[in-house]
Amino acid sequence: MGIIRRTGLFTLCLCLAAPPAARAADQWNELKTPHFTVMSNASDSSTRALAWQLEQVRSTTKTLWAWAKVDLNKPLTVIAVKDENTMRALAPQYWEERGQGRPASVWVTGADRHYLAIRTSLDVESQGNINPHITAYFSYINLVMMQSLSPDLPLWLSRGLTGVLSNTLIRDDHIIIGAPIPWHLEALRERPRTMLPKLLALTRQSPALSREEGAESFDAQTWAFVHFLMFADQGARAGKLNEFAQAVSAGKDAAAAFRESLGTPESFELPFRMYFERQMFPVRRINIDLTVEREKLPIARMAAAESAATRALFHVAMRRPAEARAAIAEARKLDARAPGSHEAEGLLLDREDKDNDARLAFAKAVEAGSTNSYVHYRLASLTWSPAADQDTLKQIEGYLAKATALNARDADAYSWLGEIRAVLGIGEPTGLVLRAVSLEPDEAVHRLRAAFVLVRLRRYDEAAAQARAGQALARTDSERNRAQQLLDMIAKAKAGGGAL
């Protein structure tokens, strides 16, 4: 039965600053905005300022691109650190080699969530026209773009949009979008430039992007070209750029959509070159989002065990098992039932392929009141077996129901919960699998689960449509085989008058 999917994606981004270890005795606080959770050992004013800025970046992205899904499908935890010592304790690998850059921010994605560790000691407003957290913003906006638009969206557009928005400058009463990025301009003016038709056709698999210099040049050129389309001639092409993005995301061929929305790439060669050779660049100024009041953002003291457990989870995501286990031990000493310590232990054991031990750790976390959606989902995965009986399936159904309650954007939990309920014959499973499809329309697994549920409900035409969509999206032989099995099952059922 079913397809169990979820892997721990590990990505890492950093922006450079310059060293020594955080004091575990620091008081950590938690601030929750409408869209972000921030854990911080910095001052209340610095913590509020950072959280407020993150809300402004989110709001700005939504203002510019109404289609942007600015709420991430996987939760984001921000760890705001007061100084370099704290950052060194969280990310020691950057101090272990001489000459290594010292990060002012580190972005990492673990199995359960995204994490952003970021220094608050950098004064954003005194940095001129470069935001010192540009790489942190780039990472957040890149995730938004990846889940907002089709994977077939041209790479030049997703990287260019992300680059432009990454250097958003947030002031007390306004926001500046499109401030020029000096190192991109330097690359444009000093390195050979790729002609636009070829640039716009490059993909992640293109050999030219496998080299660091080639990737840097690509980012510089795509930043400049999107900047040109957004701001040149008083923004005359911005609306057409938006039309192009939506057309491609809806499935239209990128080259055809570009010609229809914007014209031919060749026609932009001369005006684009003249644009990036200028000395002054237009920007857009918009008002801040007044719905988020900085001074009213609530801050609560965190229990020491909770902050230690969160640091343990961060170390797990950073692939630092020794530091993770030390933080787990610290949390357990303070509170043996701290759910985060069991979550971190489970994730460590899961990475080591110790399935039974991981299952027991996740079960302890759930018993202790874990609010981590992934923990409930993963416990369901580790409990399931092809020979699972009714009682076991009901137990799994409970874990998945809790996972969806904790994270309303967890597509994996929704699609599997729908499949389990279809097998058990309880509830209304169709809405669950279709919710997963709407959250991640380009994932074959959700289409195949939707087809399975619809087959059991004898809605064969709808099931066949989902199976064919899953077949088209399949990336593995297993997914392709499953799609064909479902199509064969549907054909047999229809030929037999609906009997399975």
Alpha carbons 279 and 264: distance in angstroms, whole number: 26
3-class SS at 242? helix
Question: Encoding tokens for residue 253?
Answer: 């061929």
Hunting for tokens 């971190």 — which residue is that? 344
Alpha carbons 88 and 103: distance in angstroms, whole number: 9
When pLDDT is cut at 50, 70 and 90, the band that residue 68 belongs to is confident
Interval 330-385: pLDDT, tens: 999 999 989 999 999 999 999 999 999 999 999 999 999 999 999 999 999 999 99
Q: Is the pLDDT of residue 99 over 70?
A: yes
- Give Cα 354 to chain centroid, integer Å: 27
Alpha carbons 105 and 15: distance in angstroms, whole number: 6
* Architecture field, domain 384-500: Alpha Horseshoe (1.25)
18-32, 78-92, 481-495, range with the lowest pLDDT: 18-32
Residue 312: per-residue pLDDT: 97
Q: Decide if 46 contacts 80 (C-beta within 8 A).
A: yes
92-106, 219-233, 391-405, 414-428, range with the lowest pLDDT: 92-106
Q: Is the pLDDT of residue 17 over 90?
A: no
Q: Which of 50-59, 199-208, 252-261, 345-354 has the highest mean pLDDT?
A: 345-354
The residue among 101 and 209 whose pLDDT is bigger is 209
Residue 152: per-residue pLDDT: 65
3-class SS at 301? strand
Where exactly are the structural domains of the chain? 384-500
Q: Which of 18-32, 182-196, 286-300, 335-349 has the highest mean pLDDT?
A: 335-349
Q: What angle do CA 366, 318, 475 make, to 5 degrees?
A: 80
Neighbouring C-beta atoms of residue 283, cutoff 10 Å:
16
Residue 129: per-residue pLDDT: 84
Residue 25: per-residue pLDDT: 66
Strands (E), 161-244: 169-170, 174-177
When pLDDT is cut at 50, 70 and 90, the band that residue 9 belongs to is very low
Residue 210: per-residue pLDDT: 83
Q: Is the pLDDT of residue 164 over 70?
A: yes
44-58, 69-83, 244-258, 297-311, range with the lowest pLDDT: 244-258
Alpha carbons 160 and 181: distance in angstroms, whole number: 12
Interhelix angle for 238-249 vs 212-235, to 10°?
Answer: 130
Residue 259: per-residue pLDDT: 95
Interval 241-269: pLDDT, tens: 999 988 887 778 889 999 999 999 999 99
- The pTM score is 0.86
Q: Which of 430, 422, 423, 379 is nearest to 402 (CA)?
A: 379
Q: Which of 64-68, 245-249, 271-275 has the highest mean pLDDT?
A: 271-275
Q: Is the pLDDT of residue 116 over 60?
A: yes
Residue 279: per-residue pLDDT: 86
Residue 252: per-residue pLDDT: 86
Can you tell me the mean pLDDT for 487-491?
94
Instruction: State what percent of residues in the chain have pLDDT above 90.
Output: 71
- φ, ψ (nearest 5 deg) of residue 80: -90, 120
Rg (CA), the chain: 24
Can you tell me the mean pLDDT for 123-132?
66
Residue 209: per-residue pLDDT: 86
Q: Is the pLDDT of residue 11 over 50?
A: no
The residue among 147 and 405 whose pLDDT is bigger is 405
Can you tell me the mean pLDDT for 139-166?
86
Q: Is the pLDDT of residue 207 over 80?
A: yes
Residue 135: per-residue pLDDT: 86
Q: Is the pLDDT of residue 16 over 70?
A: no
When pLDDT is cut at 50, 70 and 90, the band that residue 497 belongs to is low
Q: Decide if 28 contacts 40 (C-beta within 8 A).
A: yes
Q: Decide if 177 contacts 65 (C-beta within 8 A).
A: no
When pLDDT is cut at 50, 70 and 90, the band that residue 65 belongs to is confident
Residue 127: per-residue pLDDT: 52
Residue 290: per-residue pLDDT: 86
Alpha carbons 295 and 293: distance in angstroms, whole number: 6
When pLDDT is cut at 50, 70 and 90, the band that residue 7 belongs to is very low
Can you tell me the mean pLDDT for 115-125?
78
Question: Any bridge partners for residue 300, and if so which?
Answer: 30
Average pLDDT value for the chain:
89
Interval 382-401: pLDDT, tens: 999 999 999 999 999 999 99
Alpha carbons 493 and 455: distance in angstroms, whole number: 9
